[in-house]
Chain A
Amino acid sequence: MKVQVRYFASLREGLGAAEAVDMPPGSTVGQLRDALLARSERHAELLARGRAVRCALAQTLCDEGQALAEGAEVAFFPPVTGG
């Protein structure tokens, strides 16, 4: 299934604003992150486990256990710093 990935702030600067990823049906947000980690050295560095990376599914903050559906929009970004 196709998933649309978006990045913001420092992750956007390093990885670009968006990319499309093909994932097996039933995959979770965490499995998507694992797949992205394997894409390039830059992905491996910026999305590394242990780095503070937040995620959102369908534009709502989520945890990595959430299941993905066909066409899902998933975003990865650093901790937020507005206000």
Chain B
Amino acid sequence: MARVSVQQADFDLSAEVDALRAGDGGVGAVVAFVGTVRDRGDGKAISAMELEHYPGMTEAAIEAMIDEAGRRFELRAVRVVHRVGRLQALDQIVLVAVSSAHRGQAFQACEFLMDYLKTQAPFWKKEHTSEGAHWVDARVADDEALARWGLRSDNAG
């Protein structure tokens, strides 16, 4: 099974987790993070979210971050699905699912992967609100989250 999918289609959390641990008796823990589209931001109603990516580079960047997670944590398998195109409020955006023998490594690896993805993978969000559309600003807090893992990011710089 592919480790990375960048797709317009929605994903099924249960099916993804089933596939992630299928036939692997060494798995004792699965941690899955699902990011979703909020229906409000800065006091404005969000009706839709457009997600753009850099085909080729985006997939390669996520593959590289999974390799890095594999060097840092004891993992059995990793699956990342990120949606692109036009999404609606409350839609699922991203899935990061990790399996491991024990929960500690799985929790940490999942958070590491999300912190990495937020600042290093080429995706851009455009929010559509009642007052028009705008590109979402990067957050310094996301760079700081990656710094906890000893990795420097100047994304929001």
Contact A81 B124 (CB under 8 A): yes
Enumerate the 4 nearest inter-chain pairs by beta-carbon distance, A residue then B residue, closest first: A82-B123, A79-B138, A9-B124, A59-B57
Does B129 sit at the interface, judged by CB under 8 A? no
Does B54 sit at the interface, judged by CB under 8 A? yes
Docked complex: A44-83 residues within 8 A CB-CB of B? 52, 54, 56, 59-61, 75, 77-83
* Of listed B51, B57, B138, residue having the most chain A CB within 10 A: B57
Q: For chain B, what secondary structure do more than half of its interface residues adopt (helix, strand, loop), or is it mixed?
A: mixed
| C-alpha spacing A52/B120, complex, angstroms | 15
A-side residues, CB < 8 A to B, are 6, 8-10, 12, 52, 54, 56, 59-61, 75, 77-83
Q: How many residue pairs at the A-B interface have CB separations less than 8 Å?
A: 78
Residues on B with C-beta less than 8 A from A83 are 35, 82, 93-94, 114, 117-118, 121, 123
- The residue that A75 contacts in the complex, of B54, B94, B137, B155, with Cβ under 8 A, is B54
Contact A8 B52 (CB under 8 A): yes
| Minimal Cβ-Cβ distance residue in B for A53 | B157
Interface string of B55-99 (1 = CB under 8 A from A): 011001100000000000000000000100000000001100000
Contact B52 A52 (CB under 8 A): no
Contact A9 B155 (CB under 8 A): no
A75 to chain B, nearest CB (A): 6
